[in-house]
Amino acid sequence: MALDFTAIDFETANGFRGSPCSVGLVKVRGGRAVERAHWLMRPPAGHDRFDPRNVAIHGIRPQDVEQAPRFAELFPEVGGFIGDDVLVAHNAAFDLGVIRSALEVSGMGAPAYDYACTVILSRRTYDLPSHSLPFAAQAAGVPLERHHDASEDAAACAGILVDIAARHGATDIDGLYATLGLALPRQPAFVPGVDEVSAATARALGGGSAPDRSGRTRTTASGPLGAGRAWAPWPQEGANPPANERADPSHPLYGHRIVFTGALGMTRAEAKSRSAELGAQPASSVTRATTILVVGDGFTATDLTAGRVTTKARRALELRARGQHVEVLSEGEFLQMLGGRWPARSA
């Protein structure tokens, strides 16, 4: 079999992952990019507010898409481009979630997709302080000049997958996952009126509380946690909830020991709770057991090379220098791994 797949990247208008405003796709055949596509779009009606935080990331403004088709109008063309390919994305749970949630709120069915995540594969291949797209692209020798341009990000993701497959001697994605002892993930199909909508969509449509994978019920952003919350100037560590043993093992946070530093856009307790739901074990300090450090206060992965780091981040880098595998994430990368939902606060 050949190394055939379609790489995909979405940009969203706001913190709800079902608000796509741009998509980039790259079709790969035999390990070579053979076709690219890029569309701007209006997010589904009722979910098309542009959050300044998102605009600051990707630069797409409401007026840029006002003449563009809605996602629901455009998806047949997007879906046709993908066909029966395995979808590949950097933090694939987010991009696959965009398709699912945007179709759910549009009242449309969603096809099933096998998918590969280059964050997961990067962690199994490269020794990096951060497995964000720019760092992984550099390790793969792939150019990335306009990060957060969906077309450029999809192309970089495609190049990363091709490089990782070559390093492991794999000739197709199934073989690559098998070599690494992983099962290729699959997002199931969705039939409106038959299947329950995803948790992210349920929150966007009705708010309140939604069950997580462990069966517990948690309060969501439109419920009490999101109403009139006071943001502490410096976060309190609080308790470290146990990792959810029933979480999805394919999620990029699953099985990691995670520590937080700096002020996030949510309370430290909420960050710990949401990461624990996804199978990570929160902790309060950086130790030899730490595998992920999430840094707030506007940190980006490129700050690592500029030396703008907190004490915990500096400790993590020291441990890396001694051979420990620990990764540093920005809050934005962490939020994408949570499904892209920004905390409920004023922009």
Each residue's pLDDT tens digit, 45-95? 999 999 998 999 899 999 999 999 999 999 999 999 999 999 999 999 899
Please tell me whether the overall predicted TM-score, pTM, comes out greater than 0.75 for this model.
no
Q: In the structure encoding, which two tokens stand for residue 64, read together?
A: 């840029």
- pLDDT tens-place string over residues 123-162: 999 988 889 899 999 999 999 989 999 999 999 999 999 9
Q: What is the Cβ-side half-sphere exposure of residue 171, based on CA atoms within 13 angstroms?
A: 2
Q: Is the dihedral of CA 201, 206, 207, 211 positive or negative?
A: negative
| Distance in angstroms between the alpha carbons of the first and the last residue of the chain | 48
Q: Which residues of 255-272 are buried (b: 16+ CB within 10 A; e: fewer)?
A: ebbbbbbbbbbbbbbbbb
Task: Give the residue from 259, 264, 261, 270 showing the smallest Cα distance to 292.
Answer: 259
- Which residues does the chain have with pLDDT short of 70? 1, 207-235, 297-303, 305-309, 340-347
pLDDT at 272: 94
In this structure, what DSSP letter does residue 244 have?
A: -
CA distance 96 to 213: 18
pLDDT at 258: 96
> Dihedral through CA 332, CA 336, CA 341, CA 343, nearest 10?
-30
pLDDT at 30: 95
